[in-house]
Structure 1
Amino acid sequence: MGLLTEERPSVTLREITEATGLAKTTVLRIVQTLEQNGMLWATDGGYMAGPGLWRWAHLARFSWELPPETRKVIRDLAAELRETVNLYMVRGVHRVVVAQQESPQPLRHVVHVGDELPLWMGAASKILLQSASEDQLARVAATSPYGPSHVRRLQEWIDEASHNGWAVSHGERDQGLSAVAVPIRGRSGSVVAALSLSGPSVRFTDEAVTRFAGELTRAAQHVSERGFDHPYAAAM
């Protein structure tokens, strides 16, 4: 299913066979099963996403979408601060984008809801890892280019973010990109999500970062006090 994109809305049996390395008979059997269950739809140009996926998409949106009040907080932040607002949560050794509101400015940073980004760098990671165990930190460090020794640097970032109440990054993941992040806490007080603001580094001066951190903190406290409701949070 990963072969289907907006740029390539349909694929042929030959393309699926070449991409998967499976035998043509195996691919045909799998495709027929998916078609019978509405996951794929046969066209003259190949196979495209089927109507069954539309139902699953609606179910996923209903299940994972944030409450209206939280979405409004994110929209208001993006409108006021004019940078992209993201909400991240942890999944294994990655951070997942669970909500976003794009900056209204032409030059902006954009990731997509559902994207998984590495946890070994970035402002949001420094916030999310505050509740991590030693074992999780070791697993995150092992995914970095620096290997196990990166644990020490991660711990330094975590301690600094915990002391300040917020974290910042400049060019850690992408050159010229900066971000500021603050924690959203669950009922137990542990960090369950990171609310972040990201955009071109040229706009993230020291003065701007201080202002961004203050506004993000107020918004995150508002969300935390009213109870952060999300399936990921319930599992943490």
Structure 2
Amino acid sequence: MADIGRATLILDAIAEGREPLTLTELATRTGLPRSTVHRIVQALEQELFVVRVPERRGYTLGPGLLKFGMNAHLRLLGSNRNQMAVLARAVNENVELAVFSGREVVVVDQLASPDRLRGVTKVGKSFSLHASSIGMALLAHLPDEQVAELLQTPLTRFTANTVTDLTQVRHRLDEIRRSHIAIDVEEHDLGICAVATGFVGPTGALQVVCVVMPTGRFADKRAQAIEGLQRINPAIVPSAVSLRR
């Protein structure tokens, strides 16, 4: 593995960590030798891609990454806004844009309908991959080996509808790969349903666009939401969407 790949592993581990990580902890999480981690972290520290935390031994992401993150974020939002606005007007429901964030999926943009959902989803909120339509739509684009790495068992149960059996999750991913549509019926939050599609966007990034609505409107608006998403992702096959979800 080239140094760029090792550096990516280290940065991903730090990004996923809830607290600063020491060299030993980084070696354990990445599977790299401690000497290799030390050498690469030193190089990353020189560029301020990682910084040491004075109060605790360990490293966090540094300000050197901001210029890359901000530029990519603005390009991602700008390339999707128009289509999201058309979809939001068509379905009169919240429309969201999300991307991978380590072992979770994070909402990076939202267009709210006049009758918006309050306090459920907001920009910056992250969701578990297995318990959300946005997460499942992204996972469906990955090979099974990578899915297995990302889904650490036991899977967390958020509601009675959350699918926590890994075999069932894999079956659902196969369905999503055929239809290009992922559906969440109160799997992450009671009273909330969502329909999502994942695809490689204009910036080259794997992303997902999602329509979110209260459960009370889902049965009537599900087909309309799928039709609207199909205008954004022509690969969607409505006839292949499972009626069970």
Relative to the length of structure 1, the TM-score reads 0.60
The equivalent residue for 2:156 is: 145
User: In 2, distance between residues paired with 1:220 and 1:100?
Assistant: 18
- Work out whether residues 110 and 123 of structure 2, in 8 Å CA contact, stay in contact via their aligned partners in 1: yes
- Work out whether residues 181 and 197 of structure 1, in 8 Å CA contact, stay in contact via their aligned partners in 2: yes
The equivalent residue for 2:191 is: 176
The farther-off stretch of 135-144 and 86-95 is 135-144
1:80 lines up with 2:90 in the alignment: yes
Larger Rg: 1 or 2?
Answer: 1
Q: Relative to 1, partners in 2 of residues 1:218 and 1:106: Cα closer, same or farther, differing over 3 Å?
A: closer
Q: Relative to 1, partners in 2 of residues 1:194 and 1:109: Cα closer, same or farther, differing over 3 Å?
A: farther
Q: Relative to 1, partners in 2 of residues 1:202 and 1:165: Cα closer, same or farther, differing over 3 Å?
A: same
Amino acid at match of 1:193: Q
The equivalent residue for 1:198 is: 212
1:64 lines up with 2:73 in the alignment: yes
1:211 lines up with 2:224 in the alignment: yes
- Work out whether residues 102 and 110 of structure 1, in 8 Å CA contact, stay in contact via their aligned partners in 2: no
1:121 lines up with 2:131 in the alignment: yes
- What's the CA shift string for 1:189-234, capped at 9, x where partnerless? x9811110001011111x4211111111212349xxxxxxxxxxxx
Fraction of identical pairs, as percent: 24
- What's the CA shift string for 1:149-171, capped at 9, x where partnerless? 73212111111112222121111
- Work out whether residues 141 and 198 of structure 2, in 8 Å CA contact, stay in contact via their aligned partners in 1: no
User: In 1, distance between residues paired with 2:165 and 2:108?
Assistant: 26
SS at match of 1:112: coil
Relative to the length of structure 2, the TM-score reads 0.58
Offset at 1:104?
Answer: 1.5
User: In 2, distance between residues paired with 1:72 and 1:198?
Assistant: 18
Offset at 1:176?
Answer: 0.8
Offset at 1:61?
Answer: 4.4
User: In 1, distance between residues paired with 2:120 and 2:88?
Assistant: 12
1:98 lines up with 2:108 in the alignment: yes
Number of aligned residues: 172
5+ residue gaps in structure 2? 1-53, 56-62, 158-163, 236-245
Q: 2:178 aligns with which of 163, 168, 177?
A: 163
User: In 1, distance between residues paired with 2:179 and 2:69?
Assistant: 36
Offset at 1:133?
Answer: 3.3
- Work out whether residues 105 and 128 of structure 2, in 8 Å CA contact, stay in contact via their aligned partners in 1: yes
- What's the CA shift string for 1:52-76, capped at 9, x where partnerless? x9xx989854441235352121122
- Work out whether residues 176 and 182 of structure 2, in 8 Å CA contact, stay in contact via their aligned partners in 1: yes
5+ residue gaps in structure 1? 1-28, 31-52, 223-236
Q: Relative to 1, partners in 2 of residues 1:64 and 1:159: Cα closer, same or farther, differing over 3 Å?
A: same
Q: Cα RMSD (Å) of the superposition?
A: 3.7
SS at match of 2:165: helix
